[in-house]
């Protein structure tokens, strides 16, 4: 009879541990998905910004050697992601494709000027930086004008700022909910052992001695749950990149490793703090409070 009771108790304990680990894993997985969203939104925002560019139109009669020298100097600038020299002939071919007709035959000459197309680094794709860059470029007497769409640049940056604010608010809210869920899960697990804690106190065990097994078990559960959540995230990332190959250009594996490290840190840290707080509550509780 005693053996049967012991088996039942052991089964209940294992079931409790399993439920706790699964619950924490799912919450950490949810936090990891949020982190993945934040990382990719930053990458996507940078990708959009880096496709913002402008054209540097050269003056008539500027020699090609001087234009290539200017392009070489621009390639060395921090604000330039890449620069491309566009000859009048290349510009005419592109324009013919867009118009769908041979405007050169109609005009009898090529009115287009040589130019350099620039794509900016993400940090410089804003109006303030563009104004400074434009002023600097126009100091060069070989440059006729610098052309870019101000309204497009401003619209892109406004939308990115708005999206960033929404994600930040959502992230803080979800982080608070996640911590609360993990904390409540652990408190329920400790609650089921409140009489064991009282018994250990009555036989003279110190608070540190009583807390130690709870903290060690909590950290182990948090670590295991974090590893499970990280594995689930890895599966999501793998299938996302397999189904949407375009995402490969936005991925940074160092960031993914950092995300997994953060998930593991949160799993260990939150479970340790929650266990410490929950055990302390029952260490300080009066005998009649254990029945509520």
pLDDT for position 167: 78
Q: Which of the four pLDDT bands, split at 50, 70 and 90, describes residue 97?
A: confident
Higher local confidence (pLDDT), 288 or 141: 141
User: Coil, helix or strand for 54?
Assistant: strand
To the nearest 10°, report the CA torsion of 102, 106, 107, 113: 0
Find the range with the poorest average confidence among 78-87, 223-232, 237-246: 237-246
User: Coil, helix or strand for 204?
Assistant: coil
Count of CB atoms situated within 10 Å of the CB of 244: 10
Specify the CATH number of the domain 53-147.
3.30.70.3040
Q: Which of the four pLDDT bands, split at 50, 70 and 90, describes residue 1?
A: very low
pTM summary value: 0.62
Count of CB atoms situated within 10 Å of the CB of 250: 15
Find the mean pLDDT for residues 192-202: 80
Give tens-digit pLDDT for 99-117: 666 655 666 666 678 888 8
pLDDT for position 179: 79
- The set of residues, in sequence order, having a beta carbon less than 8 Å from that of 94 and lying 6+ positions away, is none
Closest by alpha carbon to 62, among 114, 111, 110, 109? 114
Q: Which of the four pLDDT bands, split at 50, 70 and 90, describes residue 9?
A: very low
- CA 175 to each of CA 131, 172, 233: distance values in angstroms, whole numbers, following the listed order: 39, 5, 17
pLDDT for position 8: 45
What are the boundaries of each domain within the chain?
2-47+156-291, 53-147
* Ramachandran angles phi, psi of 119, nearest 5°: -120, 130
Beta bridge partners of 54: 118
């Amino acid at each position: 009879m005693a053996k049967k009771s012991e088996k039942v108790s052991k089964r209940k304990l294992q079931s409790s541990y399993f439920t706790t680990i699964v619950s924490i894993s799912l919450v950490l997985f949810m936090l990891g998905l949020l982190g993945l969203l934040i990382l990719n939104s930053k990458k996507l925002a940078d990708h959009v910004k880096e496709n913002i560019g402008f054209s540097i139109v050269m003056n008539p009669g500027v020699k090609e050697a001087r234009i290539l020298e200017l392009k070489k100097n621009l390639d060395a600038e921090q604000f330039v992601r890449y620069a491309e020299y566009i000859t009048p002939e290349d510009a005419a071919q592109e324009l013919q494709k867009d118009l769908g007709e041979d405007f050169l035959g109609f005009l009898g000459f090529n009115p287009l000027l040589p130019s350099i197309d620039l794509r900016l680094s993400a940090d410089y794709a804003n109006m303030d930086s563009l104004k400074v860059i434009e002023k600097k470029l126009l100091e060069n007497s070989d440059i006729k004008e610098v052309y870019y769409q101000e309204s497009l640049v401003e619209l892109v940056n406004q939308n990115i700022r708005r999206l960033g604010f929404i994600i930040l608010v959502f992230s803080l809210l979800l982080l608070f909910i996640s911590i609360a869920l993990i904390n409540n899960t652990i408190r329920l697990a400790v609650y089921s052992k409140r009489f064991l804690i009282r018994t250990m106190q009555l036989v003279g065990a110190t608070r540190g001695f009583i807390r130690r097994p709870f903290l060690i078990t909590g950290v182990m559960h948090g670590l295991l749950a974090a590893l499970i959540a990280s594995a689930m995230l890895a599966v999501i990332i793998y299938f996302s990149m397999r189904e949407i190959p375009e995402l490969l250009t936005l991925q940074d594996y160092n960031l993914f490793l950092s995300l997994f490290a953060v998930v593991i840190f949160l799993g260990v840290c939150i479970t340790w703090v929650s266990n410490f707080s929950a055990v302390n509550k029952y260490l300080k509780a009066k005998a009649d409070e254990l029945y509520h």
